[in-house]
Amino acid sequence: MTEHPRRNVESFNLDHRAVAAPYLRVADRKVLPEGDELTKIDVRFCQPNVEHLEMPVVHSLEHLVAEHSRDHTDAVIDFSPMGCQTGFYLLLQGHWEVPAVAELLAATLSDVLTAEEVPAANEVQCGWGANHTLSGAQDAARRFLSRRDEWEQVMA
């Protein structure tokens, strides 16, 4: 096995061959100079290097979760897709542990399943408004939710 140098980005130091998606994990915590804490959650939908979400699904989930998660908490700062298309990073204000994040995501993804449209999926509010699929996002949310009992098991 080739030894890889330690990197500044936390996820680059994670052995992606050793994880078992779907899962949630605390990827980072930061305490800001004024004492505020941030928690970054790795929300992994797909097994790395085996499967991925298509870009319209990623894009639609980003819009849907970013919008609907804020109906459940004011702590959401950002919900960003991973470039590898296997998941997202959820950035939260405060100290969060995985069980509480699981509750937040379960409620949010339940909202996704009943959504009638992808929020802001138009050329006025989005940089690529035509690149969305509500049904694809709902299918991905349904699959992720169906495996909720696995979310806290990160390593294979």
Burial 27-40 (b: 16+ CB within 10 A, else e): beeeeeeeeeebbb
Question: Which of 61, 59, 24, 18 is CA-nearest to residue 43?
Answer: 24
Indicate the number of domains in the chain. 1
pTM score, two decimals? 0.95
Residue 142 lies in a domain: yes
Question: Which of 112, 27, 129 is CA-nearest to residue 69?
Answer: 112
For residues 57 and 64, is the Cβ–Cβ distance under 8 A? no
Residue 17 lies in a domain: no
For residues 22 and 151, is the Cβ–Cβ distance under 8 A? yes
Residue 118 lies in a domain: yes
Which residue, chain included where needed, has tokens 């994990």? 25
* Per-residue pLDDT tens over the stretch 110-147: 999 999 999 999 999 999 999 999 999 999 999 999 99
Cα separation, 94 vs 38, in Å, equals 5
- Structural domain including 60 reads 24-149
* Per-residue pLDDT tens over the stretch 14-52: 999 999 999 999 999 999 999 999 999 999 999 999 999
- Res. 1: pLDDT tops 60: no
Residue 15 lies in a domain: no
- Res. 9: pLDDT tops 60: yes
Residue 131 lies in a domain: yes
Residue 3 lies in a domain: no
The CATH number linked to 48 is 3.30.1360.80
